Amino acid sequence: MTLWLMAGLLFTPLAWAVLTLLLDFSKGRVVTWLGILVQVLVSLGLWAAVASDGEFLYLLGGWQAPMGIELRVDGLAVTFVLLTALVAAACGWHASIYLDPDKPWNRYFWPLFWFLWAGLNAVWLGGDLFNVYVGLELISLAAVGLVALGGQADALRAAIRYLMAALLGSLAYLLGVALIYGQFGTLSLAGVTDLVSNGGAQSNLTFPLILMLLGLALKTALFPMHGWLPPAHGIAKSPVSALLSALVVKASFYIAARLWLDLGGDLGGYALAQLIGVLGSLAVIWGSWLAFRQAKLKQVVAYSSVAQIGYLFLLFPLTWGVTDAISQQAQQGITLQVVSHALAKAAMFLAAGNLIMSVGSNRVDALAGVSRFLPFSLFSFGLAGVSLMGLPPTGGFAAKWLLLQASLASGQWWWLGVLLAGGLLSAAYVFRVYRASFIEATDTDQFYHPSRSLEVIPMILALLSLGLGLVAEPVLSVMSLPFEGAGS
Amino acid sequence: MNLSVLMPVFALMTSLLASVVLFALPEKGHRLRTIINLAAAILKIALVGVMIWGVAQGCKYEAAFTMLPGVEFVLRADALSMLFAGLSALLWLLTTIYAVGYLEDSPNRSRFFGFFSLCVASTMGIALAGNLFTFFLFYEMLTLSTYPLVVHRGTTKALRAGRNYIIYTLTGGAVLLFAIAWLHGLVGDLRFQEGGYFSDIAPSMRGPLAIIFVLMMVGLGVKAALVPFHGWLPQAMVAPAPVSALLHAVAVVKAGAFGIIRVVFEIYGLEAAKDMGLLAGLSVVAAFTIIYGSTRALYQVDLKRRLAFSTVSQVSYIVLGLCLLGPVGVAGGLVHLVHQGIMKITLFFCAGNYAETLGVHRIDELDGAGKRMPGTSVAFTLGAFGMIGAPPLAGFITKWTMGSGALAVGMDWVVAVLVISSLLNAAYFLPILHRLWFAEQCEPWPHERRWGRLETSAWLLWPPLITAALMLVAGLIANLPFSPLSWAELIVAREVAL
């Protein structure tokens, strides 16, 4: 059963991508709605299956390691699968109303959307380094295509820049994979982990690990390699920005985290872990500051992504050389941060899209009067902002709490400052938007009112992000289900 | 699920659900909005009333679930929470009535009442929180839900006040979170417990615990407006009058003071806090704040601003009372939580009435207002005398109890502080009373509105009259059961075996 669900998660999006390629926008929309329904149900099914039976490993087509395609699912993977289904469903639904069916290029949104989804599921469920790479490339290409969808010069420029960064990152990752393959003759992550921990390595493998992490960090837009992200996320259509910020950058981070948790203990070092943590902290501070300085609303949200991604890299120092309990706490905190940021950021981009559509301008100071005219979307934006600030009772707060505890318990108290200052800085840029919207304006007559469905979708996402803090315990209990069958 | 679990949840939910419904209502549904507001407020008073009765009989109301690994969300009704919950439920009803009248014909009422209810829900959550984690949850929710109320008018001045408010309170919140997380890392999840936890703590723990205590006092002191963290409060008075009333009497400053009480009594324990020498420092800060606030109030020409500095001073009575280390003095501090609320809300209601009816904001414009608005002015006079500490009003009970408590434990200097503060109170309130009643009106009112026979709208007139009466009653029946003072003594009897 679990096998069929996993196969469904990989092959339905691919089938749908091909199918929608043949259809025009409106027909593609109907087909997509159906596909979204299937995907959400299958994801829920897989989540329930893992919650009751635990992890699962499958060798596709019966090929054995080292060459075969290996699928594996554990609590972490299925959490991300479900998250992807929720966010992608919301963005797909939003896009089906938001995008203009009369623009000829918009019909390509659907195939790209489905290729992206297929790539994401491949990364979450992949068990070997090469297939994960294929998934990652699929994601990058689909994402670049989505950014370029608008067709204007700005969008194309941002897309090209994004493409360059993504390819460079992939190249570094692939080089690392090749070096590891040359050493061990296997690409299965579990197999490599086994060999490394049994002392099977003949030469120093730290270099390939660093190379892979570097490539992935570039794709995740870790400071100071974040330059490509804000233009791309800022210029894309709102549902696309939401997908990119919520899910795409998380894919490369997910691989980096898996590599680190499996291999980092043996191949990494204190200095490397701390360095990555420091870069993450700088991303938090610098990204928040730049977000505060932006004049355009979507740029504020995009730079906020740079900052929020910075928190994720605290995983590296907080899981290196610490006890299992602390490592577990840090992993839980980071996972919650990924999930709550994905939900909140998607909500924020979609709500920002509505606000921009309403006032007809991308500027923050054009928002005057919007609190009276479009309170519902503003409220969604606000709730998402509360989660980004890490204030209770949101998922962002639960994540911050766990990370605070992990920092204290591991004696790395310096991350406390980052976590607390980061929260205050994000409050600065979020409240700047509130402030602009509370100014009373007289010319709200020219405002355009988006349809009710467009307003409801970000609210649902924002409420999920808020509620995550209240139900964090059951979510974490599934997420922490370990992958015990590794390598056996 | 029995009733004892559900009661605190219901008490919280009344205003939380009301808030959701109010947000959803169309802007034009004024009558329905008022009905929902009042119904929710009355229901909440009933629920809290039942719980107060139950707690007096020794019932336990508690609801808890695990939120994060090792962290629980706890709602609980005990004697101390009922002191705050009772005050907030009662004043919510009155402030809602007042706000309905005050905001008549003004825009954005849907947003206002939505956040207003959310603010009260946070206050209720703070009162009912059963551990520091839950307390912090609602403490931050309060910050967020009051911001839209402070900037409600959308003017430059309001936005600036809102920005300062947010900077102060969020920074304070971050410091508090740091302290709570640290404490949690040291000793785990602590539910509030009568008598506290640290009475026989290992000497090696004393250093970190003392630092955590200071951090907590800083974090909570921002909301309680302890000097030097009081800067946001006088600015925040640009908010509409019902908001100022709520901010100064129940919601924000009281949340800080209430948090300090919880930490001192039910985490550290009064004895342990004294032994570690933590209360001595706190009492000096509180005493300084009392004098400083009153002195600054003397120089204010804007009525609401003078009242705001008076709040800075008065809230610290509560903190100073805790440091008195004797059952009598502590009861005096606790009872002031309620007394200050009733008195200050009266004064802010009256200030709002002068502004709404006559357009008067400055004290020197008040000449002769007593003749034009006798009801409001009587309420204001009672409030002012209460603040000064004239018997038999509520403020007198506070000062008398605190004074005799201080003498009983040999802290004579506190009596001096009380006397000086009372003199200063008189110095800044009596001139206002003189203008109200004895000065002749020489200029026309800046912006007069008329409401038929009454001096002002009935919605605006009744709340201050009721709170003024309550203040008188609280003073007169101080020795009967269920009066604020007897309740405070009940808490002290349960909390401390001094």
DSSP for A302-321, written as a single string: HHHHHHHHHHHTTHHHHHSS
Q: What pLDDT shows up at residue A486?
A: 37
Confidence check: pLDDT of A481 > 80: no
Q: What pLDDT shows up at residue B119?
A: 92
What span, in angstroms and rounded, lies between the C-alpha atoms of B335 and B67? 34
User: Which of B177, B212, B232 is best to mutate for the A interface (most A CBs within 10 A)?
Assistant: B177
Closest of B263, B269, B279 to residue B196, by C-alpha = B269
How close B108 gets to chain A, by Cα (Å)?
7
Confidence check: pLDDT of A38 > 50: yes
Which member of B163, B177, B185 has the closest CB to residue A420?
B177
Confidence check: pLDDT of B440 > 90: no
CB contact under 8 A, A404 and B141: no
CB contact under 8 A, A372 and B107: yes
B75 part of a folded domain: no
Q: What pLDDT shows up at residue A374?
A: 82
Of the segments A113-117, B101-105, B186-190, B265-269, which one has the largest average pLDDT value? A113-117
pLDDT tens-place string over residues B63-93: 888 888 888 899 988 889 999 999 999 998 9
Closest of B109, B107, B141 to residue B127, by C-alpha = B141
Confidence check: pLDDT of A63 > 60: no
CB contact under 8 A, B66 and A473: yes
CB contact under 8 A, B144 and A391: yes
Share of chain B above pLDDT 90, in %: 44
The verdict on whether omega for the bond into residue A224 sits within 30 degrees of 0, i.e. cis, is yes
Which member of B70, B108, B159 has the closest CB to residue A439?
B159
Q: What pLDDT shows up at residue B8?
A: 87
**Residue in B closest to A385 by C-alpha:** B144
In this prediction, residue A471 has a pLDDT band, given cuts at 50, 70 and 90, of confident
Q: Which of A47-51, A56-60, A106-110 shows the lowest per-residue confidence on average (mean pLDDT)?
A: A56-60
Burial letters B159-182, b for 16+ CB under 10 A, else e:
bebbbbbbbbbbbbbbbbbbbbbb
- Chain B positions touching A438 (Cβ under 8 A) are 148, 151, 154, 159, 162
For residues B189-203, average pLDDT: 83
What span, in angstroms and rounded, lies between the C-alpha atoms of B219 and B103? 33
Two structure tokens written together for A224:
């100071």
What span, in angstroms and rounded, lies between the C-alpha atoms of A301 and A305? 7
Closest of B375, B370, B367 to residue B446, by C-alpha = B367
Three-state secondary-structure class, residue B153:
coil
> What string of H, E and C letters represents the secondary structure of B247-314?
HHHCCHHHHHHHHHHHHHHHHHCHHHHHHCCHHHHHHHHHHHHHHHHHHHHHCCCEHHHHHHHHHHHH
Amino acid making up residue A413: W
How close A420 gets to chain B, by Cα (Å)?
6
**Stretch (H or E) spanning B422:** helix B412-437
Closest of A469, A330, A467 to residue A402, by C-alpha = A330
Print the domain residue range for B325: 277-498
CB contact under 8 A, B173 and A391: yes
CB contact under 8 A, A371 and B177: no
CA-atom Rg of chain B in angstroms: 21
pLDDT tens-place string over residues A297-325: 999 999 999 999 999 999 999 988 888 88
Two structure tokens written together for A197:
């921990």
φ, ψ of residue B66 to 5 degrees: the values are: -80, 125
pLDDT tens-place string over residues A195-237: 777 776 656 778 888 899 999 999 999 988 988 899 888 888 8
Q: What pLDDT shows up at residue B285?
A: 93
Three-state secondary-structure class, residue B74:
strand
What span, in angstroms and rounded, lies between the C-alpha atoms of B335 and A163? 67
- Chain A positions touching B68 (Cβ under 8 A) are 398, 401-402, 472-473, 476
φ, ψ of residue A345 to 5 degrees: the values are: -70, -40
Place of tokens 């607390």: A420
φ, ψ of residue B252 to 5 degrees: the values are: -75, -55
- Chain A positions touching B138 (Cβ under 8 A) are 392
**B64-to-A72, B5, B8, B14, B61 alpha-carbon distances in Å:** 37, 8, 10, 18, 10
Closest of A337, A339, A332, A334 to residue A479, by C-alpha = A332
Interface of B with A in 167-196 (CB under 8 A): 170-171, 173-174, 177-178, 181-182, 184-185
φ, ψ of residue B302 to 5 degrees: the values are: -85, 130
Look at chain A and count its residues.
Answer: 488
Which member of A401, A404, A424 has the closest CB to residue B170?
A424
The DSSP secondary-structure symbol of B228 reads: T
Hey, is the C-beta of B117 within 8 angstroms of any chain A C-beta?
A: no
What span, in angstroms and rounded, lies between the C-alpha atoms of A101 and A304? 31
Q: What pLDDT shows up at residue B467?
A: 93
- Chain B positions touching A434 (Cβ under 8 A) are 147-148
Contacting residues for A144 by C-beta, under 8 A, at least 6 apart: A159, A162, A163, A166
Average pLDDT over all residues of chain B: 88
- Chain A positions touching B148 (Cβ under 8 A) are 434, 438
CB contact under 8 A, B67 and A473: yes
What span, in angstroms and rounded, lies between the C-alpha atoms of B297 and B280? 26
Distance of CA B94 to the CA centre of its chain: 14
Taking each helix axis as running N to C, give the angle between helix A375-389 and helix A324-359, from 0 to 180 degrees, rounded to the nearest 10: 160
Q: Is A166 left (phi over 0), alpha (psi -120 to 50) or beta?
A: alpha
CB contact under 8 A, B181 and A402: no
Q: Count of CB atoms within 10 A of residue A469's CB? A: 27
Place of tokens 């609590």: A75
CB contact under 8 A, A424 and B171: yes
**Stretch (H or E) spanning A22:** none
Closest of B32, B119, B38, B11 to residue B462, by C-alpha = B38
Hey, is the C-beta of B164 within 8 angstroms of any chain A C-beta?
A: no
Three-state secondary-structure class, residue B98:
helix
- Chain B positions touching A371 (Cβ under 8 A) are 108, 111, 154
Look at chain B and count its residues.
Answer: 498
φ, ψ of residue B153 to 5 degrees: the values are: -75, -20
Closest of A470, A288, A270 to residue B137, by C-alpha = A470
**B224-to-B119, B166, B221, B239, B384 alpha-carbon distances in Å:** 16, 14, 5, 18, 21
pLDDT tens-place string over residues A259-291: 898 887 777 788 899 999 999 999 999 999 999
End-to-end CA distance of chain B: 37
Taking each helix axis as running N to C, give the angle between helix B132-150 and helix B241-249, from 0 to 180 degrees, rounded to the nearest 10: 160
Q: What count of CB pairs under 8 Å joins A to B?
A: 87
Two structure tokens written together for B483:
């009066």
- Chain B positions touching A391 (Cβ under 8 A) are 140-141, 143-144, 173
Closest of A74, A70, A75, A45 to residue A59, by C-alpha = A70
pLDDT tens-place string over residues B27-39: 788 889 999 999 9
Which member of B67, B69, B174 has the closest CB to residue A424?
B174
Hey, is the C-beta of B294 within 8 angstroms of any chain A C-beta?
A: no
Q: What pLDDT shows up at residue A487?
A: 33
Q: What pLDDT shows up at residue A92?
A: 92
φ, ψ of residue B196 to 5 degrees: the values are: 75, -175
The DSSP secondary-structure symbol of A322 reads: S
DSSP of A148-212: HTT-SHHHHHHHHHHHHHHHHHHHHHHHHHHHHHHHHS--BHHHHHHHHHTT---S--HHHHHHH
For residues B399-404, average pLDDT: 90
CB contact under 8 A, B73 and A470: yes
How close B26 gets to chain A, by Cα (Å)?
11
- Chain B positions touching A435 (Cβ under 8 A) are 151, 159, 162-163
For residues B408-435, average pLDDT: 91
Confidence check: pLDDT of A443 > 80: no
Please report the sign of the dihedral spanned by the C-alpha atoms of residue B2, residue B5, residue B6, residue B8. positive
Domains held by chain B: number? 1
Confidence check: pLDDT of B147 > 80: yes
Two structure tokens written together for A261:
């948790």
In this prediction, residue A344 has a pLDDT band, given cuts at 50, 70 and 90, of very high
User: Is the model more confident about B197 or about A1?
Assistant: B197
Average pLDDT over all residues of chain A: 87
Q: Complex ipTM, two decimals?
A: 0.89
Confidence check: pLDDT of A361 > 90: no
B479 part of a folded domain: yes
Interface of B with A in 54-93 (CB under 8 A): 66-71, 73
Q: Count of CB atoms within 10 A of residue B2's CB? A: 6
Two structure tokens written together for B321:
């009372």
Q: What pLDDT shows up at residue A60?
A: 65
- Chain A positions touching B162 (Cβ under 8 A) are 435, 438
B239 part of a folded domain: no
How close A393 gets to chain B, by Cα (Å)?
6
Q: Is A97 exposed, middle or buried (0-12, 13-18, 19+ CB in 10 A)?
A: middle
Hey, is the C-beta of B159 within 8 angstroms of any chain A C-beta?
A: yes
CB contact under 8 A, A405 and B184: yes
Confidence check: pLDDT of A348 > 90: yes
End-to-end CA distance of chain A: 21
Which member of A404, A416, A472 has the closest CB to residue B67?
A472
CB contact under 8 A, A391 and B140: yes
pLDDT tens-place string over residues B52-63: 998 888 888 888
Closest of A356, A374, A375, A376 to residue A366, by C-alpha = A356
Confidence check: pLDDT of B498 > 70: no
Closest of B449, B230, B234, B470 to residue B353, by C-alpha = B449
Amino acid making up residue B142: L
CB contact under 8 A, B185 and A416: no
B461 part of a folded domain: yes
Q: Which of A435-439, B318-322, B483-487, B494-498 shows the lowest per-residue confidence on average (mean pLDDT)?
A: B494-498
Which member of A391, A398, A427 has the closest CB to residue B68?
A398
In this prediction, residue A250 has a pLDDT band, given cuts at 50, 70 and 90, of very high
